[in-house]
Homo-oligomer: A and B are copies of this chain.
Amino acid sequence: MDPFLQAAIDQAILGRDEGGIPIGSVLVIADQIVGRGHNRRVQNGSPVLHAEMDALENAGRLTAADYAAATLYSTLSPCDMCSGAALLYKIPRIVVGENQTFSGPEEYVRSRGVSLEVVSDPTCIELMRAFIDQHAELWNEDIGI
């Protein structure tokens, strides 16, 4: 297991155990995690702190050179908002745990020059499947449905 994807999964599990939506993310620069995050819709009442946004927020203000050397890990395929954040900051590489329970605009992101890899990790899939089974309405709210 990629230790950075594992760190994102650890964030997802932390979020789940807080009663939240089990999606986690880490931002990595030069083999160091500079920001960790998980979805905070339930915990903070936040519509903007998806896991990736939370990781970017927790990384703080970075330079364009920092982002140019970064990889964004997420347990789930990034939505339009989170994909847009990666495009804004020109993060060149995104590693996605899974895109079977939800898929963001992956082809558009690739068309903008980003390397986007999907691992199809069974733990990531199971975390979301179990959550969606139990909390379909909350999940739909998180993806604008």
Contact = CB atoms under 8 A, between A and B. Distances in A.
Contacts of A80: 84-85, 87-88
A47 B61 contact: yes
Contacts of A144: 64, 67, 88-90
Please report whether the interface of chain A is mostly helix, strand, loop or mixed according to DSSP.
helix
A57 B48 contact: yes
A63 B141 CA distance: 6
Copies in the complex: 2
Contact of A89 (B47, B57, B59, B60): B47
Contacts of A108: 108
Interface in A35-80: 41, 45-49, 53, 56-57, 59-64, 67, 79-80
B89 A85 contact: no
A82 interface: yes
B84 A59 contact: no
A81 B87 CA distance: 7
Contacts of A141: 61, 63-64
Contacts of A46: 57, 61
A85 B88 contact: no
A11 interface: no
Complex A-B, nearest 10 residue pairs according to Cβ-Cβ distance, in ascending order: A84-B84, A80-B87, A80-B84, A81-B85, A81-B84, A80-B88, A81-B88, A89-B144, A48-B57, A48-B53
